[in-house]
Amino acid sequence: MAATTQHHPSLHERVESITGSGDLRLIYGMGVPMFIAVLVICGLLVAGVGWAVPVLMLMIAVMTFGVIMGIAKMLGESGDEDDAGA
């Protein structure tokens, strides 16, 4: 009797099947750092270092603005770079 191996989908395969998205780099690239930032802010508040929260929020806002500008620049670029020389 041959043993059958079951394929257990990895985390990204499960998320892809739920969201229907084929490329999760944007979700992981933005979601994971935001989740970590929320955990750090909660940790600072619990530790009683409330003065650091506004500084951290300002840094997060600046980095978020940079990400948004980068995405806007990528969306504004044409996808056909070969046509530039023709």
CA distances (Å), 63 to each of 32, 54, 55, 58, 71, in order?
Answer: 14, 14, 13, 9, 12
pLDDT in tens, 67-78: 888 878 877 876
Angle CA 47–52–58, to nearest 5: 140
Residue range 1-36, pLDDT digits in tens? 566 678 888 776 777 777 776 666 777 777 788 888
**pLDDT score at 1:** 56
Q: What is the pLDDT of residues 49-59, one digit of tens each?
A: 888 889 888 98
